[in-house]
Each structure stands twice: as C-alpha cells, then as structure tokens.
Amino acid sequence: MKFKINPLFFALVLALILLGQALNFMWTLVALILHEAAHAAMARLRGFQVKQVVLLPYGAMMSLGESFDPVSAVLIGLAGPAMNGLLALVLLGLWWLYPAIYPITIPFLYANVSLCAFNLLPAYPLDGARVTLGLSKNKLKAIKGLQAAGVVLSLAFFALFIASCFYSINISLGVIAVFLFYGAAFGTRDEMYISVLDSASKNLELGVEERRVRISSKAPIARLYHHVSASSETVFEVVGEGGEVKELSEEGLKALALKFRLSSSVGDALEGKAKVLYVRKKSKEARDFKSK
C-alpha cells in the first residue's frame, strides 16, 4: 500500500501553525485519519483493498477509475463522513459525563462536524460524489455534473477567502478552494482501491502462495474476502451441513459477489437460493403485455 501526502496538506498545516492553531491541526489530523480508516475498513468489507492513501486537507481525493459496484460506491463513500458524525456524537456524550475536557476537545468536534458535512457535498473530489455516482444511472453525465459542481464550489470558497481578507483572513478557505478546483479539474489517475480478487492486486514480484481454506457453507460471502490477499491465491472448500465439500475459486467468489448480497451465505449462493443483489429487468413479453 502506497502512502502519499498532497502538497495542499502541508499548506493547511502551515496556515494553521501561522495562525496559532497547532492544537486544531492535531485534532483535525486525528479526525482525518479516522475518516480514511473508515473508508478503508468498509472497502475491505466490500471486497476491496486500499491501493494507496493520499492525505489531503479534507480527506482523500476520489479517483475517476475506481470500478465499484453501486452498493459498494455508496457504502464506501458514506463510511468516512459517518465515522466523523459518530465521533462528534460520542464527544458530545463525553462532554456531558466529563465537562472538564470541553476546552481541550472542542476543536475535535469542529473538525469532525466540518469533515462530515463538507465531504457529503455532491461535488468532485468529495465523498458525496462517490455516493452520487453509485446512485446514478447515467454515470458519464453524472461525472461531468459533479466535476462542474466541484469547480463552482471551489470558486465559492475562493470568494469567501477573498472576503475574509477584509476582516479576519482565513487561509483555510483558500486551501479548500485550491483543493476543490484541483480535484474537480484534474482529478487523479491513480485508483485508491482495487478489488482483492483482481489479478492486478496480486504481488507477483514477492511471490504468490497457493492455499486452501475450509469454511462452512453458512458463512456469509463477505467472510470469505477476509481470507483473500495480494500474497496468496485461495481455493475455498465450502463444507455443507451434511459434510459434502464444494470447491470455490477466487474467480467463483467474485462471480457470487457480483450476483448476490455479501450478507448471503455462500452455500445458498452456490445453490442459487440467495437473494439477487439487483432487481432484474422485466422480460420483453412483460413489457409488451403492459403496453397493450
């Protein structure tokens, strides 16, 4: 996994230090790390592994090339803001129990609330864009709209930055404006997540081990993903209630994950008894009958 720090992050650090807000920076950094950890955890649960982490002022920049299924796109996109929202609620509860920590931790509340609200905006390169794409039927049209929204939002923040120069200058607004404009206009060519079942995720330079994992047919499909990694090629031995064993390759697991819910048991999926993830289109005969 690669770890990168965008120059805009250093700009934010410098701005906060110059303004005497080192404590704010530390709490913001903690909120950012937990935000990205939530994205990574949800991605892993949905069968993706983190390819790289790019630390940015207000989260990680979204890639145009990520091949998420719609459900994964929504869940992964919401995971980061949801973590920040949860942290804010937990902190409010702690204030009620331990009022003395209020002066020290109030920047942490502001950091979490701002990260949650800001990243939910439907504009590139924010998490709201990933959610919107997951819900969109026309992705090409949605991408263009989200990029345009990102540019407009960046101009709005830049206008706020200019206005702040006449009162109490807020450098953070300028950093956000640059961050949004860069992400919306240029994006990133590097995918941040890659399916653990894709051949490209296998680290052949270090060697890939062939191994077998025996697992109950009652286990959910998502559980099998925890046994898949870049350093191994796994064959699953799915054991039924009667002791019968069925083999399932990683390619077979990928096919099941695309067709069925990840919460479905692998045994039901193999027998075709699990619920299908997406509603199938009506047959031509049904459409013709409805039109008459």
Residue 208 CA: distances (Å) to CA of 70, 200, 231, 233: 30, 12, 5, 7
How far, in Å, are 8, 50, 72, 137, 278 from residue 281 at the CA level? 46, 33, 21, 14, 9
Is residue 265 a contact partner of residue 274, using CB atoms and an 8 Å limit? yes
Confidence at residue 64, expressed as pLDDT on a 0 to 100 scale: 41
Secondary structure of residue 59 in the 3-state scheme: strand
Percent of all residues in the chain with a pLDDT value above 90, rounded to a whole number: 10
CA–CA separation, 46 and 60 (whole Å): 19
pLDDT band at 261 (very low <50, low <70, confident <90, very high): confident
Tokens representing 224 are 């099998």
199-213 pLDDT, tens digit per residue, is: 556 667 767 788 899
pLDDT at 67: 57
Mean of pLDDT values over 98-115: 88
Q: Of the candidates 289, 48, 56, 35, which has an alpha carbon nearest to the alpha carbon of residue 187? A: 56
What's the DSSP call for residue 276?
Answer: B
pLDDT at 277: 54
CA atoms of 151 and 147, how far apart (whole Å): 6
Q: What is the pTM of this model?
A: 0.62
What is the rounded average pLDDT of the residues 156-163? 87
Could you please report the per-residue DSSP string of 98-109?
-GGGHHHHHHHH
Name the most confidently modeled range: 1-10, 57-66, 89-98: 89-98
CB 13 within 8 A of CB 25: yes
Query: What pLDDT sits at residue 291?
Result: 44
- The residue among 184, 214, 193 whose CA lies nearest residue 123 is 184
User: What pLDDT does residue 285 have?
Assistant: 41
Q: How confident is the model at residue 287 (pLDDT cuts 50, 70, 90)?
A: very low
Q: Which residue has the higher pLDDT, 291 or 177?
A: 177
Contact (Cβ atoms closer than 8 angstroms) between residue 114 and residue 57: no
